[in-house]
Structure 1
Amino acid sequence: MITYVIIGITVVVSYICFGDHELFRKLAFIPYRTVHNNEWYRLITHGFVHADMTHLLVNMFTFWSFGTYMESAFGYLGLGTGGYLGLYFGGMVAASLYDLARRRNDPYYVSIGASGAVSAVLFTSIFLDPWGKILFFAVLPIPGIIFGVIYLAYCQYMAKKAGDNINHNAHFYGALYGLIYPAILEPSLIKRLYLLLFS
């Protein structure tokens, strides 16, 4: 249920921002304004804003695909709605910290989208089910753990290469948060992961 609420709000806010550039600028993650104007809310609000319909649909479809499963899993594991919200919004914040530090004095840097949060959800699903199949390039099913390694390596490569207007650092750090978060929330899950991987 929470997954659908987040998707609904994100779709509505993103759609409004497509035609309202002033609102877009108010909600976007601009590290300079976040730090110098104390507009810390941007660490969250930028996740509700997207560049275009394709950006929005890709993020929300991926979130729906893994978020509904994660929401149920968190309930089953006793981690609750609060734990699930901590995953999504914590991932959003964690994905922004690198750029917050690096770009805090650059008034022209802008980042938007829920990709960091979605990466966190995706990688927590890999943590809980490392051998579950994920469609590579939406076609080839491969184990989640292998997908994860490829994804992280790709993010690092593209972040260094740059030039495609995609915040690969947000993807990378959101994904790392998704791997670490469930272990912090419930340390016994580390042993579970080990048994799933090596038994």
Structure 2
Amino acid sequence: MVRSESESRPSEARSRLLKTAIRVFYAEGIHAVGVDRIVAEAQVTRATFYRHFPSKESLVVAYLNEADRAIRGQADAAVAAGLPAADTIRTISASIAEGIRSPGFRGCAFLNAVAEYPDPDHPVHQAVLAHRQWFLDTITGLLAKIREQPAEPAARHFVMMRDGAMAAGCLFDPALVCETFLRGVEGLLKAHAAPSYTEPADM
């Protein structure tokens, strides 16, 4: 069925609002940008804004959901390539490094958001936690394919290295930060693949 112009306009307006939010929230911070600014730059009315997003916080959650979808897409593509688990982690790491080196990089959108919404019960905070749990679970699953134990501690180590690289990447030379991060990933993979130390049997 062909949709009329009046039927298609709301989705177009929502897209403009979300694209505007993605750009300004990431570049300038969430609390620093008000609804009036987003409405003006998206070229919609306040009524249109509230028809699509009941509150600014609902727009923030939608912004984070878009960021989550993009990162999941990268991870899914890496997994779908069918490479060994270690190479899949290297591919994911390379995409992280590419993001750090990209123009306008300003750190992790999720860590930036949770710093502005510290209440653990707030929907924005919950969206951040859900994304990070998914990412931890994804890395844990990949590391478990290399060696089952201790996959989760190693995955937490990976996430901490990733967080550090994302924080340092907007403060220092991105190329050096990425080199350090990728070298750390290689060290983690090597250590994780090595068998656990066991006490020698009595002679």
Same structural fold, with TM-score higher than 0.5 when normalized by the shorter chain: no
TM-score using structure 1 length: 0.30
Q: Which structure has the larger Rg over C-alpha atoms?
A: 2
Which TM-score applies when normalising by structure 2? 0.29
